[in-house]
Structure 1
């Protein structure tokens, strides 16, 4: 494990990563339960939940409501420790237990969203907004904005859980293949609406991850924002010097 100054949740995350890498937990195997990890590491459940949430966002595990956390193939490449939050949102499987839909339908695009989509300010788009939940813990607030022609080719604006991941919907709707997610990460004050939905403590900030999904024609076909409670998430990077 890391030294004593490392946050507890990160120590749990690092140990689980090493066990996946060395084969202690093979691909497809279920990890120990949250209760078992709480006992093993002598930490609070919120610490374990945070470590598992970040492992899922990093692409190391898949979490299934009522079944537990299952090992995926460890990410490869030089940036394997970098969170791929945009991709996590695109590949998330919605169901009634893991997603609480806040709104879905046609809206006017905020200026910054319109700019990313190459549309005029207040142009109509389809917004899909939901809370990500695991075992009763709210982990994030996701907002997805799509141009009307893209959204009209699938159920993105319908008020029911999607039966396929967003990536598949975009693949079928976009003129070209999906090639890139451009992400911007920033910390900011939560809006009143976000504070209420995420059940934040007074003054608690959010970590905002905004991703633009581009296809091979260079068009931005989706803008996604993931708002993460500041007390539950911390993005960490490691690189040689």
Structure 2
């Protein structure tokens, strides 16, 4: 048996356990999964860890979650591009207040050159930066930075000091009527910066996966840039697609 040092993070262990139960028929298609409270008690973890596991299962198209009703096993659907798991897109639906998020910094900043270029703004333009650190029960799990033009963020809660109670995509649609249509991601394997290493509790030589995602609205404008940093030892990316 592997030691705890090399065991998957607790949320991933819950994902694996539920997938095994679905595969062996313990949870058949259409069945209701145990409640979050029951899963917290069974696995001996915090509620944010259970919520993260259920969101991973939802993003992979394995379950459906209905507010006030619970989580249900889906029948296996045909694989489509919309159902593929993409880290940059998944961040847009995460709820900071429910996933043990900590607001590290928020406010106007001069956009770095690469961010300004992605937003089609002059270098040094002022944009909103919102940086959130997420943890599981044991340690920092990932670091997310949102870069948003001032006209897009105006009137929203993205510049506020409180954690968001809904995902960024849903919030922008509800408050601004802004529909986010597609995402272009750039993935880089690298070492963390000094500030990233400190926040994520990593050594400077630890591997991380950097995801830089440009988020477009229906007219083709980049309205948001997401910079996601994932510690390599805690994450693996899974995708599925038709040939």
Q: Which TM-score band (shorter chain)?
A: 0.7 to 0.9
Deviations 1:110-160 (A, max 9, x none): 111111111111110000001012324321100000000011120211111
| Distance in 1, Cα, partners of 2:172 & 2:62 | 24
Unaligned runs of 5+ in 2: 1-5
Q: Aligned residue for 1:116? A: 118
Task: Using the TM superposition, give the Cα deviation of residue 79 of structure 1 relative to its aligned residue in structure 2, in angstroms.
Answer: 4.7
| Distance in 2, Cα, partners of 1:227 & 1:78 | 26
Task: Using the TM superposition, give the Cα deviation of residue 219 of structure 1 relative to its aligned residue in structure 2, in angstroms.
Answer: 0.5
TM-score (norm 2): 0.73
Matched ranges for 1:152-231 at <5 A: 152-172=154-174, 177-231=179-233
Deviations 1:35-63 (A, max 9, x none): 8569xxxxxxxxx99x9485466465699
Q: Aligned residue for 2:21? A: 19
Deviations 1:81-122 (A, max 9, x none): 742222321111122871111000100001111111111111
Q: Aligned residue for 2:35? A: 30
Contact 1:81–1:237, Cα closer than 8 Å, also in 2: no
| Distance in 2, Cα, partners of 1:56 & 1:161 | 22
| Distance in 1, Cα, partners of 2:141 & 2:207 | 14
Indicate how the Cα distance of structure 1 residues 94 and 72 shifts in structure 2: closer, same or farther if over 3 A, else same.
Answer: farther
Unaligned runs of 5+ in 1: 1-6, 39-47, 64-68
Indicate how the Cα distance of structure 1 residues 29 and 80 shifts in structure 2: closer, same or farther if over 3 A, else same.
Answer: farther
**Superposition misfits of 4+ residues, deviation over 6 angstroms:** none
Matched ranges for 1:76-95 at <5 A: 76=77, 77-79=79-81, 82-95=84-97
Contact 2:131–2:145, Cα closer than 8 Å, also in 1: yes
Q: Aligned residue for 1:102? A: 104
Contact 2:64–2:74, Cα closer than 8 Å, also in 1: no
Contact 1:128–1:156, Cα closer than 8 Å, also in 2: yes
Contact 1:59–1:72, Cα closer than 8 Å, also in 2: no
